[in-house]
Each structure stands twice: as C-alpha cells, then as structure tokens.
A and B are shown apart, each in its own frame.
Chain A
Amino acid sequence: MLSRIREASRAIGRRAKVMEVCGTHTHVIARAGLKRLVREDVELISGPGCPVCVTSQRDIERMLALARMRGVTVATFGDMVRVPGEHSSLEHERAGGADVRVVYSPRDALECALREPSREVVFLAVGFETTAPAVAAVALEANEHEVRNFSLLASHKLIVPAMTAVLSGAVALDGFLTPGHVSVIIGSDAYAPLVREFGVPCVATGFEPVDVLEGLALVLEQMAEGRAESAIQYTRAVTREGNRRAHAMMMRVFEPVDAEWRGLGSIPSSGLRLREPYRQLAAETRFPLPDIPSASLGECRCGEVLKGLIVPSQCPLFGVRCTPRSPFGPCMVSSEGSCAATYRYE
C-alpha cells in the first residue's frame, strides 16, 4: 500500500494535502502513527469530523441550562458529558445534583422516559448522518406512542456542507477521506456535487490502518491521473446510493437548517431540526432555553484546529493547561478529537 502511495506521489511531483473528516479516522491515524508513515508524500490534516468537537458553545450552554432545570433528566452520549461550557460542564452539573445520564443508544433515553413518567427526559442528540437516522427512528416511536415526557435537543450536523465550507476557506486541499459510516447512510454519490464543483477526489474509507492507507492511495492515484471522483475504498459497507431507508427516515423526521459549527461559524443547511408533526418533540418548544451567542473559549484554538489551519501543538494551551484529564476545549475531550488523539499518541 505504501508503495502505491509513493508511486502516485512521484507522478504528482509534490506533497498532497488530504483531509480526513471523521473523528474515528483521526483516532486511527494517530493511534497507528500513519501521519509519520506517509509524511513524505502526504500531509494529513484533521477536519471538522468529531461531532462533540464541532458542537457550538451556544448548544453546549443550552444543554447545561436544561440539565439545571428541576425535574429534567438529560441523557446523552458519554463524550458530551465532559465538554466544557463557559463556567461548567454536564459532569460538573451532575456533581451539583443534576440528573445527567450517559446512554449507548437514543433508544435507552426513550426507555428511560417510559420507565420514569414523572421525569422530563431530554436526549441531547449530537452526531452526523450515521447517528441521526437512529434518533429519527426513536422520534417516530415517541410520537407514535405519545410519550409526553420525552424530547430532543437536536444538534445534528451534516458532513457535505462542512466539507464545502472547508473547501471555500483558507486551506488548499487536494482530497478528502470521507467518513465510512456516514457514507454507509448517505452513499458515495452524496459527495459527487462537491467533487464536480471543487475538483477534489473523495474516497469513502474504512477504519483499519490498512483501509486508511488504501484510501490515501486511491486519492493520490486520482490526482496522479488528473481525475477527481467520488470513490469507495470501504466496499465492505459503503454503496453508491447508501442506506435509502435510513436516509428517508432521517429526512421524514428532520429538515435541513442553517447550523452553527465551532470554528466554522454558521453553515447553510448543515444541521437538522425536527419538522412538523415532530416539532413538538423539540426541547426548545417545551423549555425556556437561553440563546447565548457563542463566546470564544479564551485562548483555546479548537476552531482553527477544526479548519485544518493549525495542528494541535500550535495552540498555547495544548498539553499545558489543556489535557485529556482536564480539557479546556472540546477537541481535547473526545477520544476522536484531534487534540486528544495528538496528545495521546504523538
């Protein structure tokens, strides 16, 4: 695989700049030391692919406000619990008496609401297209069974608009490794418009080190031959059309909406909100939520890390005041955040 990369790189005649936009790729790349392995031929940079890391400060403050409300139970995925807000985190609120529960599946949150009818259970729904259909399925079920004490704070994000925003920014990219499991849902055809507009190869890539290397080889080989296509390395799971049933379920329950990303700002049609008749499941229709504009986190440079403008070690807080044990910014919280992955493995 390395010889394929090397050969294509020779034909290109310069070092290629390739971005991965999936936190699991970030983690695998750091863990297997792949950046160093391909360093001479490829500059690998991490993009906005970690759902926890791209959640805006405004959404985090809303989650914290919900957790502080009497009678409210918030349920979410583990990584969200440690993400710092301006003055607090869900973990901190829990220590202060808030009912914050970590769930493995959105279904667990719905079942919690069924078991405890006296609690208002709010599921803090983060994640890309891999996760949003599962949340949609649970929303349909809650609606069908008229579960009155269950709601959602949806902070879902869509990957293609974010990739478009990155390409429109300051980083000159040659290609993308696209997220394997997002691509299981949306299919490799979903990247075709972006490939046409910007002329960058996109390769839907799996999660083993050898998958990532092959994904890179496929990007570089396209470059060497002057092609730009949406291709699939992860053929074990990804098809061109994706999982239409799951995608349709997601679009039945949600509609695209402009969304705010940490570091990237507001991106048109890059988030999801509940559409009618599911809107009544939206936490913002049931609870008074603050609408605090996103404050920057002081010296934290997560935003620039997410855009691929700097590497984590260029942030003055990295490894000093910001470590996985005591994270200052979200990219250090999640094991798929590029700061945490860099700290742990490099």
Chain B
Amino acid sequence: MEGAMCLAVPARVVSVEGRLARVEVVGNVRRADLSLVEDVAVGDYVLLHAGFAIRKLERAEAEETLELFRSIESFGDQTDP
C-alpha cells in the first residue's frame, strides 16, 4: 500500500552491499535499493519509498521527521480503539 502512495519514511542505513542496503525504519530492518542516490554510507539517513532510497537526509532532518512520526504513533495509540 505504501508503494503506490507517495509516502516515504526516514531510514537509517545499517549495512551496504553494492547498490543494496539494509536500513532500519522505526525499529524494523528492511532492504533498500541505493540506485537513485549517491554516496550513501553506513550510519547515513535516507528517505525510503517503495524499497528505494530517494534522497539522502541530514541527520537533523531525519531526526526531526522521526520525532514527528513517534509523536503521531503515540497520538494514534491514544485515540484508536
């Protein structure tokens, strides 16, 4: 579902092998294709969409977005039945 939606989430790169990486997204490890971005290394943050990194993020930018994600999650916990 997130594929068709133009939704992308910040992810932290935990390992890189060629143009494929493992990334961590809010606690889950996923695969990410790095073909669309340049110079990504372990520890960097990327914006992940449909299994592809579409942009490298500055750490501060990523943290800011992740903070928003977390706040929404806790908001969701309180309001969803």
Contacts and interface: CB of A to CB of B under 8 A. Distances in A.
Interface in B32-81: 33, 35-38, 47, 49-52, 54-55, 57, 61, 64-65, 68, 72
A23 B36 contact: no
Contacts of A336: 5
B50 A131 contact: yes
Nearest to B68: A208
B6 A134 contact: no
A24 B47 CA distance: 16
Interface in B1-24: 1-8
Contacts, number: 119
Q: Say which size band chain A's interface belongs to.
A: 35 or more
Nearest to A128: B6
Contacts of A27: 5
- Most chain B CB within 10 A, of A180, A208, A335, is at A208
B18 to A, nearest CB: 12
Interface stretch (A100-108, A145-153, A224-232, A282-290): A100-108
B51 A108 contact: yes
Contact of A77 (B4, B31, B64): B4
Given A23-B5, A130-B8, A104 B50 contact: yes
A240 interface: no
A24 B5 CA distance: 7
B50 A106 contact: yes
Contact of B4 (A131, A206, A243, A246): A131
Contacts of B50: 77, 104-106, 127, 130-131, 134
Interface stretch (A86-94, A163-171, A181-189, A300-308): A181-189
A151 B24 CA distance: 30
Q: Say which size band chain B's interface belongs to.
A: 20 to 34
A208 B57 CA distance: 17
A65 interface: no
B33 A105 contact: yes
Contact of A127 (B6, B33, B36, B57): B6
A104 B2 contact: yes
A133 B5 CA distance: 14
A52 B57 CA distance: 28
Given A77-B1, A105-B33, A184-B8, A133 B54 contact: yes
Contact of B51 (A130, A134, A236, A334): A134
Contact of A104 (B51, B65, B68): B51
20 contacts: A22-B6, A23-B6, A51-B4, A77-B4, A79-B4, A80-B4, A104-B2, A105-B50, A106-B51, A131-B50, A180-B6, A181-B6, A182-B6, A185-B54, A208-B72, A237-B55, A237-B57, A245-B36, A245-B38, A246-B37
Interface of B: 1-8, 31, 33, 35-38, 47, 49-52, 54-55, 57, 61, 64-65, 68, 72
Which 7 pairs show the lowest CB-CB distances between chains A and B? A105-B51, A77-B4, A77-B3, A246-B36, A134-B52, A78-B1, A236-B61
Interface of A: 22-24, 27, 49, 51-52, 77-80, 103-108, 126-128, 130-131, 133-134, 137, 140, 179-182, 184-185, 206-208, 210, 236-237, 243, 245-246, 249, 334-336
Given A105-B52, A236-B61, 9 more contacts: A52-B4, A107-B33, A107-B52, A134-B33, A134-B50, A134-B54, A181-B54, A237-B61, A243-B36
